[in-house]
Amino acid sequence: MTAGGAGPVPAHLPVMFAEVMAGLAVKADGRYLDGTFGRGGHARGILERLAPDGRLLVMDKDPEAIAVAEQLCRDDARVSLRRGSFADLASWPAVSAGPGAGLDGVLLDLGVSSPQLDVAERGFSFAKDGPLDMRMDPDSGESAAQWLARADEKEIAEVLWTWGEEKQSRRIARAIVQDRIEQPFTRTAQLAGLIARLIPRGDKKTHPATRSFQGIRIHINRELLDLEAGLASALACLKPGGRLAVISFHSLEDRIVKQFMAGLAKPPPANRRMPVEIAFTPTLRLLGGAQKAGDAELAANPRARSAVLRVAEKLQGDHEAVVA
């Protein structure tokens, strides 16, 4: 990292790096928040564009990510760190305190990170056997194994259906509840194997456990609830002219981001049944639509194939509803 940084960042491929930098349009003296540090690929790009009086605030739930951030940024006075969810970014005094309070940009790179997937002990991947954990913050909340041991069949099925969009959710939930009587689910390979036996793979390229693992992970980490809270907090903390950039990796995330941004940028559809006239003042300006990774990036980083980037700019004013 430049301008007082702590040296090179470990090998890591930040998704849609060029597009994110263009979307944030980093100002040299600006104040930015990276709510999902990961291994610092995007943060490095922001810092390279900041002058000595610029500021970068970094958050992450994962203690390993924060440890990397501390190592990389320990000699950089421009950087402040906080371990926690971006859902709580508005409660961080560094966001609103001091000169130039407020933020010129917020970046949220959603979902599970490559380092989390690649380390079997974190329990995120069905491709590598490890403890069935799935917590982004392993010091908080219950693990996937603990939840599967106590949840009833209905709750498990609802999670797999709602957050994983798994069509066989009831069948899988029933098998989990039956099998755990003799052998609790404690390993990723154990759960993935059960699902594979229930749902033959056939010619499908994706593993049968993909959707179930997604649903359990989202539930354990409150990912979509945190996303809704984080978007609202980011909007509240952005200065007029500040940019919000969000990378999502599946349709549930992207739908929330799209509806949030569009709902604040465009008037709602006309409703002839409404007896009052609604005056709408946009709060956001959409900067293009959904952006996808290019062919060159996909060749170097196949995990970027599902990434969708959306960027919006905060305007002056708020929503207003007026009875004519």
State the pTM of this model: 0.87
Q: Please give the pLDDT value at position 114.
A: 62
Q: How confident is residue 272, by pLDDT bands cut at 50, 70 and 90? A: low
CATH of domain 17-114+223-314: 3.40.50.150
Per CATH, is 121-220 categorized as 1.10.150.170? yes
pLDDT in tens, 69-116: 998 888 899 999 999 999 999 999 999 866 667 999 999 999 776 666
Whether 3 shows a pLDDT value over 70: the answer reads: no
pLDDT in tens, 179-212: 999 999 999 999 999 999 999 876 677 889 999 9
- Average pLDDT, stretch 30-45? 93
Domain boundaries, the chain: 17-114+223-314, 121-220
Other Cβ atoms within 10 Å of 265 Cβ, number:
16
